[in-house]
Structure 1
């Protein structure tokens, strides 16, 4: 016998199924418009339920956002960690494996990236803190990956690694934004496209580059900068409340300012 608590609305849809419908619609709305501009009423209309029902299920707009955020953050972290784990020599490079994993994880909900990277989250709230938790975890993985990549290339300057981490975040965000505008592109097609772009970039940057690690120019690029830290910037330091880190001068935690593609202001709680 089905009880009233296991049903949603008047259509006889089991509550668990209705919740998944709501979360899918809310993820799309938050990813498209941003937290501030998204309304519970718009999500209710999209799903075909009442606004009071959404509040009954999730308590508030923030509660609904958190219910969307956690599976997105967990899925992305798992994808990145798996991609960075051990691999055979025939596997693609780590950056390409990570990009492939991200595309695969986001394929069903491409705008979910902007649920996590949403600058309109109210500062100091549970939503902002939870999103920062996931972003910091991804930053730590990116820091490890970029440092390893540069170390392989003979570069040990921590500011180089910090700059590359910024560039990597921007690249991922730009690629996801482009991907949203090209829905016909599969994760596999995007990975192949990225591989071609990487090869082209390597050719362009390698042309005329004679400043390898063994030259004076190359050595200069690996020395700690004078406005850095006396110890060469070792260690990433402690996070500060505003999202920076107590690190060598000029090395800061990534600012998460890349918003959803269609974000506007004026949402309601």
Structure 2
């Protein structure tokens, strides 16, 4: 009997839908556990398919990781670029727009941030190289933004810009970790919270 076109042959679920289910489960698994500890068996079990089907759809573990990485890497890059263009480098407008867009890009897949920033990726492999390309592109945008902010504040020190870029990534990572623990918080609620925190920090250190 021939399987109808567009179906995966797994309980009548259309192939495209099954692929989306696998990618959602894999993104959460990679994001929560890291590449090294992530289990294809756990991903398959969560979706209700076999590991064999997982391999048929996406190949090896590295291929599945790359299928998860590419859409979130593209979304995050686009989110940061759009916010920087919209904000025009103004302080604190641009950083808040960047955060809002990052939260929006991650909504529904909050763990995806840690797919991109995964320290357990095998060094020298295609997964590590692909993640590095995305991180470096985001870091270049962050470096440009922090340099603009420091120049506007009257500081042209290159090390200040480097330190601020480093601190920015750490802050975003910390905020995403907190956000994962508070699933009731929407992207807009998080952006509003960050605005309040920035304002309070400005008063404390101003």
Same fold (TM over 0.5): yes
Q: Please tell me whether the aligned partners of residues 31 and 113 of structure 1 are also in contact (alpha carbons under 8 angstroms).
A: yes
User: Are 2:79 and 1:79 aligned?
Assistant: yes
Structure possessing the higher relative contact order (Cα contacts under 8 Å, 6 or more residues apart): 1
The 5 Å alignment of 1:63-142 reads 63-87=63-87, 93-142=93-142
Q: Partner of 1:17 in structure 2?
A: 17
Q: Cα gap change, 1:154/1:42 in structure 2, threshold over 3 Å: closer, same or farther?
A: same
Q: Partner of 1:171 in structure 2?
A: 171
For each residue in 1:111-153, what CA deviation from the matched residue of structure 2 results, as whole angstroms up to 9, or x when unmatched? 0000000000000000000000000000000000000000000
Give, in angstroms, the shift of residue 91 of structure 1: 10
CA distance in 1, matches of 2:33, 2:88: 41
Give, in angstroms, the shift of residue 7 of structure 1: 2.2
- Segments of 5+ residues of structure 2 without an aligned counterpart are none
Q: Please tell me whether the aligned partners of residues 9 and 49 of structure 1 are also in contact (alpha carbons under 8 angstroms).
A: no
Give, in angstroms, the shift of residue 173 of structure 1: 0.2
Q: Pairwise CA RMSD of aligned residues?
A: 1.8
User: Are 2:63 and 1:55 aligned?
Assistant: no
User: Which has the higher mean CA deviation after the structures are superposed, 141-150 or 88-97?
Assistant: 88-97
CA distance in 2, matches of 1:172, 1:89: 18
Taking structure 1 as the reference length, the TM-score comes to 0.73
* Matched residue SS, 2:35: coil
The 5 Å alignment of 1:148-187 reads 148-187=148-187
Give, in angstroms, the shift of residue 172 of structure 1: 0.1
CA distance in 1, matches of 2:89, 2:64: 43
Give, in angstroms, the shift of residue 107 of structure 1: 1.1
For each residue in 1:149-187, what CA deviation from the matched residue of structure 2 results, as whole angstroms up to 9, or x when unmatched? 000000000000000001100000000000000111111
Give, in angstroms, the shift of residue 88 of structure 1: 8.1
**Paired residues, what number?**
205
CA distance in 1, matches of 2:54, 2:33: 19
Taking structure 2 as the reference length, the TM-score comes to 0.95
Give, in angstroms, the shift of residue 12 of structure 1: 1.0
Task: Point out the structure with the larger helix share.
Answer: 2
CA distance in 2, matches of 1:114, 1:154: 34
For each residue in 1:60-84, what CA deviation from the matched residue of structure 2 results, as whole angstroms up to 9, or x when unmatched? 0000000000001000001110001
User: Which has the higher mean CA deviation after the structures are superposed, 160-169 or 78-87?
Assistant: 78-87
* Matched residue SS, 1:6: coil
Give, in angstroms, the shift of residue 92 of structure 1: 6.2
Q: Cα gap change, 1:160/1:90 in structure 2, threshold over 3 Å: closer, same or farther?
A: closer
Give, in angstroms, the shift of residue 8 of structure 1: 1.9
Q: Cα gap change, 1:166/1:87 in structure 2, threshold over 3 Å: closer, same or farther?
A: closer
Give, in angstroms, the shift of residue 86 of structure 1: 3.6
